[in-house]
Structure 1
């Protein structure tokens, strides 16, 4: 996470500390949710950590999973790893009985928007935040 400053720059003005990243990734949950519905996956390549994926199932409603984070080290991007991992995310969500995936991408992150549109996500709403405009996107899992 600490090597993905370009990702954080879309919504934070300064680099987070390791402690902030650990807390947010493993323990930060919306109100009225259960830690048992949260999954965090490490993406490994040749024995090295190169990515992280964060899922929260049955939120904001049953059978919907929030894809809170999918980030990769810059040196492994644009090699098909993101697409492969996203396919595994869909598979995992179906295994958990989920029918929809939801995520947010900042309007300033044009590359992210294009990537999610390519995966079949559509914009369903927008939210303003102190960090900028957040585009809420969803995909029905067939």
Structure 2
């Protein structure tokens, strides 16, 4: 598995926009439409209430040609101290089902443990059973159904959690 993780910044906005175009199926599933330019900016800047930019880590997942093939959005100490939130793990369609997500998750889990994190939380779109199956295979368990926001649109999501 040849890929590298790198923290993304505003200078990566063009590559993130291209990724959002390539993986527009996710946003169309979520909201019924896709606006890659807005989605890319949201990935870089969106934060939960009371969180600061230093609490956010947006990792780019790059292939061996240094092409951005995915992103992982992480929020430290959210919703509580020592709890981390995965905002999104998104891969381009051609890179899915190759165990990349599983490898990235394992790598990030080790990082969170090293930083004394005790759990990881995430939300899954109610209408995304493939994502639910993926996260359940990674050891996450259902907590509750909530209303979440994706690209400014309110929708039903399943809250999942995994203890470390």
Normalised TM-score (structure 2): 0.80
Q: Could you say which residue in structure 2 is the equivalent of 1:115?
A: 134
Which deviations, in whole Å up to 9, do the C-alpha atoms of 1:17-67 show, x marking residues without a partner? Answer: 31x123211111112111111101110112211010110010110000000
Q: Could you say which residue in structure 1 is the equivalent of 2:41?
A: 23
1:40 to 55, 58, 70: 58
1:5 to 24, 28, 34: 24
Q: Extract unaligned runs of 5+ from structure 1.
A: none
Over 3 Å counting, the alpha-carbon distance change for 1:17 and 1:74 in structure 2 is closer
Shift, 1:16, TM fit:
1.8
Which structure shows the higher helix fraction?
A: 2
Taking the aligned partners of 1:23 and 1:50, their CA distance within structure 2 comes to 17
Contact 1:125 1:135 in 2 (8 A): yes
- Find the residue that maps to 1:33 and give its secondary structure: coil
Matched ranges for 1:25-104 at <5 A: 25-46=43-64, 47-104=66-123
Report how many aligned residue pairs link the two structures. 140
1:132 to 141, 150, 155: 155
Contact 2:119 2:161 in 1 (8 A): yes
Which deviations, in whole Å up to 9, do the C-alpha atoms of 1:117-139 show, x marking residues without a partner? Answer: 00000011111356532000000
Shift, 1:95, TM fit:
2.0
Q: Extract unaligned runs of 5+ from structure 2.
A: 1-19
- Find the residue that maps to 2:29 and give its secondary structure: coil
Larger displacement relative to structure 2 (122-131 or 66-75): 122-131
